[in-house]
Structure 1
Amino acid sequence: MRYIIIGAGAVGGAIGGRLAGAGHEVVLVARGAHHTALRDAGLRLKVPDGEYTYRLQAVTGPGELGGLRADDVLVLAVKTQDTVTALQAWGPAPVAGGGTAAERLPLFCAQNGVEGQRLALRVFRHVYGVCVWLPSTFVEPGVVSAGGAPLTGMLHLGRHPHGTDATARLVAADLEKSHFEAPVVPDVARWQYAKLLSNLGNALEAVAGPIADDAAVALFQRVRAEGERVLDAAGIAYASVEEQKALRGHKVDLVPLAGAPRGGGSSWQSLSRGTGTIEADYLNGEIGLLGRLHGVPTPLNDLLQQLANTFARERRVPGSMPFGELARLAGEAASTTG
């Protein structure tokens, strides 16, 4: 199988680089300065066991590939806000032997949140969810770091909306030869909703810095508890913290990488790169949406969504809001819903 990584940033670059390192055929899809760096100098992947450069085919879209093959696997790793654009580009692309990518090829959505795969299912017939537990960083064109050890990450796989099949098992086998653990599960959404609850802190970190001291941890716990109330009201199942810890153990411990400090998660990285967009609408905004559908107030998630979008739109420096100011705004927001 050939793996086409649509969005070769932090997650996509780490997956693509590790697959390539294990001998699999990989194509990287990127844009702008990152595409130029990948095309001209290759992907530099920094991991605990060393730094590797992979000279892989790098394209901006399907037209540069010379055609899709029947054995291609598409891995969608763009931020959710970029999903529709990617689907519009890749869905109609013809596949050798007839038909289009949307009709014939498997699409694995390696994204935060849960909306990307739902958007994909409007276009693609064979959609797979991926619960991404993969600490990685992309802030410099052409360079991706992933500090997880002894494994690079854990990627639960399953068909969307539910079930498993031979394709998922084949992809999992390739990933497990490439420094990942890849459980194939019939209820991948249950793991993705659990990860969504963890990702509710992404906006907090992006706006006010690391969730490190007691005050920041306490605020995040309130944000997460709000999310749990919403999921419970919606009847949506999610893996418990205890279940996640028991499965992960110390398989993906984050270790320091020389010359590759990890400043923050995916939302922090978006602000650091000055992209002008952020995925808060599909993380905290997912909780806000479900809250409104099921009559559960979500003032803290609404606040973080609004602040993260403002930071992205105005290209503010990540972590530049004093925590005291954020705490004051959170108190005001919570008081309005009593």
Structure 2
Amino acid sequence: MRFVIIGAGAVGGVVAGRLAGSGAAVALVARGPHLDAIRRDGLLLREAAGDSRHHLPAHATPAEVDWQPGDVAVLAVKGNDTQAVLEQLPRDVPVVCLQNGVANERAALRLFPDVYAICVMLPSAHLEPGVVVAQCAPVPGILDIGRFPGGVDDTSREIATHLTKAGFVSQPRPDIMRQKYTKLLMNLGNAVEALCGQVEGADEPAAILRAEGETVLKAAGIDFATLEEDKARRGDILQLVPVAGSMRGGGSTWQSLARRTGTVEADYLNGEIVLLGRLHGVAAPANETARRLVVDAARTGKAPGSLTPAQLLAAMRTS
């Protein structure tokens, strides 16, 4: 099995480096200065235990990959980039969605018979070309996997075995989407962190977004793991540690604003709740406001922390 990791950013890059370090066959798809740096110097994985550099085949698009029997396409791009990636893949390759949100798997299943979902619990960072940072140690992350829409098979078991060998905690789970919907609820707060930063008072708007999200999921008849179940699965596995003297700055949406990428995946996080609410007759104004504000912040190049929690709350309450 060769892992073709499409999107070698924070999550995809850490998984790629760890898999390669454990002896797995890995190829990358990246873009821009990040791709240039990887081709020139290799992928630098920074961890609390030390740095490692991985010289891996790196391509600009999935269409450039020399696809082989036994390859697995691992999508680690943001949800807003998924469709463009899917259209460039060979139709017989298994597709693994190493992504936040819950829309990627459905998009993949429209085109591919074998689709797998991974619930990503992997604090990581990518803020400079060629470099990714694993921010938990000694275990870098929890990456449970299952078939979409449900079930477990030999491929999901083999992938879990590779991930475990690479140092992750990974279990095949037949109910993986139940876990991913719980992660979606957590990711609704990504917009708050990006807009307000990690400041006092940010918990309140994040709690409003989550409560609204739970209401919408229940109206849609979508099951999700409880907070107690999620806490039990995480336990004390994920321990944030300083890497090169620095602690974690922020999550994926925060990093997108910090890097001035121009886009964020809020349409597939907060926007998923908005969509489900519209489909099932439940208003989701708080999530629509958060989605709109963070998308606008990315489009206009605003840095993280452009709003105070009070300003965000006021906008949410008047929407």
TM-score, normalised on structure 1?
0.92
1:242 to 228, 232, 249: 228
Change in Cα spacing, 1:37 to 1:203, as seen in structure 2 (3 Å) is: same
Contact 1:117-1:127 at 8 Å conserved across structures: yes
The equivalent residue for 1:55 is 55
The equivalent residue for 1:296 is 282
CA deviations 1:31-88 (Å, max 9, x no partner) are 11110001100111111221111111111124543x2111111110000100111111
CA deviations 1:263-322 (Å, max 9, x no partner) are 211111111111111100000000011111112121110110000110011111111212
The equivalent residue for 1:40 is 40
User: 1:259 Cα shift?
Assistant: 4.8
User: What letter is aligned with 2:134?
Assistant: A
2:109 to 111, 121, 127: 121
The equivalent residue for 1:87 is 86
Give, in whole Å, the separation in 2 of the partners of 1:293 and 1:167. 34
Give, in whole Å, the separation in 2 of the partners of 1:185 and 1:41. 37
Q: Provide the secondary structure at the position in 1 that maps to 2:4.
A: strand
Contact 1:46-1:260 at 8 Å conserved across structures: no
Give, in whole Å, the separation in 2 of the partners of 1:292 and 1:63. 36
Q: Does 1:21 align with 2:10?
A: no
Give, in whole Å, the separation in 2 of the partners of 1:332 and 1:68. 51
Moved over 4 A (4+): none
1:165 to 153, 156, 169: 153
User: 1:261 Cα shift?
Assistant: 4.1
Change in Cα spacing, 1:63 to 1:87, as seen in structure 2 (3 Å) is: closer
The equivalent residue for 1:10 is 10
Give, in whole Å, the separation in 2 of the partners of 1:124 and 1:259. 43
Contact 1:157-1:188 at 8 Å conserved across structures: yes
The equivalent residue for 1:322 is 308
Contact 1:5-1:27 at 8 Å conserved across structures: yes
Q: Does 1:112 align with 2:81?
A: no
Give, in whole Å, the separation in 2 of the partners of 1:278 and 1:218. 22
Give, in whole Å, the separation in 2 of the partners of 1:239 and 1:62. 34
Give, in whole Å, the separation in 2 of the partners of 1:205 and 1:324. 13
Give, in whole Å, the separation in 2 of the partners of 1:62 and 1:145. 24
Q: Provide the secondary structure at the position in 2 that maps to 1:89.
A: coil
Change in Cα spacing, 1:49 to 1:121, as seen in structure 2 (3 Å) is: same
Q: Structure 1 regions of 5+ residues with no counterpart?
A: 91-100, 334-338
Q: Provide the secondary structure at the position in 2 that maps to 1:253.
A: coil
Q: Structure 2 regions of 5+ residues with no counterpart?
A: none
Contact 1:284-1:305 at 8 Å conserved across structures: yes
Contact 2:6-2:62 at 8 Å conserved across structures: no
CA deviations 1:181-204 (Å, max 9, x no partner) are 111111110000000000000011
Contact 2:205-2:312 at 8 Å conserved across structures: no
User: 1:262 Cα shift?
Assistant: 2.3
The equivalent residue for 1:140 is 128
Q: Provide the secondary structure at the position in 1 that maps to 2:23.
A: coil
Contact 1:271-1:316 at 8 Å conserved across structures: yes
The equivalent residue for 2:250 is 264
Matches within 5 A, 1:136-285: 136-210=124-198, 212-213=199-200, 215-285=201-271
The equivalent residue for 1:93 is none
Give, in whole Å, the separation in 2 of the partners of 1:62 and 1:302. 33
CA deviations 1:98-157 (Å, max 9, x no partner) are xxx322x21100011001111111111111011100001011010000111221110110
Q: Provide the secondary structure at the position in 2 that maps to 1:318.
A: coil
Contact 1:200-1:223 at 8 Å conserved across structures: yes
Give, in whole Å, the separation in 1 of the partners of 2:207 and 2:154. 39
Contact 1:145-1:260 at 8 Å conserved across structures: no
User: What letter is aligned with 1:239?
Assistant: A
Give, in whole Å, the separation in 1 of the partners of 2:272 and 2:301. 23
Q: Provide the secondary structure at the position in 2 that maps to 1:118.
A: helix
User: What letter is aligned with 1:42?
Assistant: G
2:272 to 266, 286, 308: 286
Q: Percent identity?
A: 50
Contact 1:129-1:160 at 8 Å conserved across structures: yes
Change in Cα spacing, 1:116 to 1:87, as seen in structure 2 (3 Å) is: same
Change in Cα spacing, 1:332 to 1:162, as seen in structure 2 (3 Å) is: same
The equivalent residue for 1:98 is none
User: What letter is aligned with 1:221?
Assistant: A
CA deviations 1:192-219 (Å, max 9, x no partner) are 0000000000011111111x42x32122
